[in-house]
Structure 1
Amino acid sequence: MPTTAGPRRRADAERNIARIVSAARESLSSDPNASIDDIAKAAGVGRMTLYGHFRNRAELVEAALVDALRAGEEALSALDLTGDARDALTRLLDSSWSLVAESAALLTAAQGTLPAGRIRELHAAPAQRVEELIRRGQDEGVFRTDLPITWLVNVVHYVLQGAAEENRVERLETEEVAHVVIATTQSILAAPGASDRSRSRRREKP
């Protein structure tokens, strides 16, 4: 009997943790101010069970944000970002805005709970992907080079967050978000004359 009790307790604990983190993601995405009680209720567990795995709300918020970013990375890592940088950026934005919609609310919760340095650390991988894509576009001559790269990366993030918020408060329809995000970001990043050069190259092709 003792040989099976340990593994069973661990399995139960893992299921509880997964259920709590999932409930935290859902609750905090709907309401960044969701309380421990709200999350425990959504997870179908008691406060004592929740506190047995997470010592405080900050730990739970971080776990929810980490889990959301992990899921996003899994989805985006399989995305084809080869070829023309503008086309690759369009594919990235089209696939990532809905992920940002969830993480934006989680980020709001985290900003009132976690240190700024920890938040930047958690977002390092998504930011790196965008930065590499913008640098490639700059090398190709299609993205502007007159502004700091860190600012351009942040602008892309601001556009995504802003569109997610507009969608959340129903000022922007879900089916419109991807188009708005892509059109806005591409126009901001475009190098002067890039569209003219692109059209010229297309005309020159046999």
Structure 2
Amino acid sequence: MTATRAKVPAKRADAQRSIEAILDAAIRSLSRNPEASVSEIAKTAGVGRVTVYGHFPNRADLVEAAMTRAIADGHAGLEAVDLSGDPREALARLIDSSWQLVSQSRSLLTAAQDVLSPGRIRELHAGPVERVEGLVERGRAEGVFRTDLPTTWLVGVLHSIMHSAADEINAGRLTPDVAADYIAATALSAFTPPSLAG
């Protein structure tokens, strides 16, 4: 009886380690190639396809779990960013900490868009988006960010600038060491009220 009880937690721990290895492999594989197959992910994880399917019934479930984990990991890191004080300076700090995460997750997002609904993708991004929206709203209330455009539009513009920076780096026209400064300068210019821009 005691021996049986001792084996159950060990089995659960092994299963959890297996799941973590599969998710790590899925994030790495899908970040390189959004069309990565379950076989490729299993090989990267060092397990068989049967093991992957034992935890994730289909590729869509695996992609969703990988996206959920990547967003949670990224959001946890961004929680440490100080968003107090001048909203413009706080936005620059947030950009400095987050733009590479956005860049690295682009292919993973492409994979997710192939198998998940737009509504589900919005749900998965809700936490990080709310953080940025809260900062933009505070900047609008303090008169340093424009109010003639919706907050959701401004947040969308910020993400577009980040993606453009990643494209420029891939094309060899921008170096990673200056990307955050370029993104911040462009975003702050776009966020500044017309009355303060002149």
Task: Tell me the residue number matched to 1:35.
Answer: 37
Task: Tell me the residue number matched to 1:24.
Answer: 26
- The 5 Å alignment of 1:122-201 reads 122-194=124-196
Following superposition, the deviation at residue 168 of structure 1 comes to 4.1
**CA deviation map 1:92-147 (0-9, x unaligned):** 00000111122222111100111111000011111111111111111221111111
Task: Tell me the residue number matched to 1:204.
Answer: none
Following superposition, the deviation at residue 12 of structure 1 comes to 0.7
Task: Tell me the residue number matched to 1:86.
Answer: 88
Task: Tell me the residue number matched to 1:56.
Answer: 58
Q: Secondary structure at the match of 1:4?
A: helix
d(CA) in 2 for partners of 1:105 and 1:165? 12
Following superposition, the deviation at residue 33 of structure 1 comes to 1.1
One-letter amino acid matched to 1:188: A
* Unpaired segments ≥5 residues, structure 2: none
Following superposition, the deviation at residue 3 of structure 1 comes to 1.9
d(CA) in 2 for partners of 1:33 and 1:124? 25
Q: Is the 8 A contact 1:141 1:194 kept in 2?
A: no
1:112 is the counterpart of 2:146: no
One-letter amino acid matched to 2:183: V
Displaced runs of 4+ in structure 1, greater than 6 A?
none
d(CA) in 2 for partners of 1:2 and 1:164? 53
Q: Secondary structure at the match of 1:112?
A: helix
d(CA) in 2 for partners of 1:27 and 1:170? 23
Q: Is the 8 A contact 1:104 1:164 kept in 2?
A: no
Identity %: 53
d(CA) in 1 for partners of 2:178 and 2:82? 23
Task: Please tell me the root mean square deviation across aligned C-alpha atoms, in Å.
Answer: 1.5
Following superposition, the deviation at residue 170 of structure 1 comes to 4.2
One-letter amino acid matched to 2:132: V
Task: Tell me the residue number matched to 2:48.
Answer: 46
TM-score, normalised with respect to structure 1: 0.90
Task: Tell me the residue number matched to 1:8.
Answer: 10
Task: Tell me the residue number matched to 1:102.
Answer: 104
Task: Tell me the residue number matched to 1:203.
Answer: none
Question: CA distance change for structure 1 residues 112 and 176 in 2, over 3 Å: closer, same or farther?
Answer: same
TM-score, normalised with respect to structure 2: 0.93
Following superposition, the deviation at residue 162 of structure 1 comes to 2.5
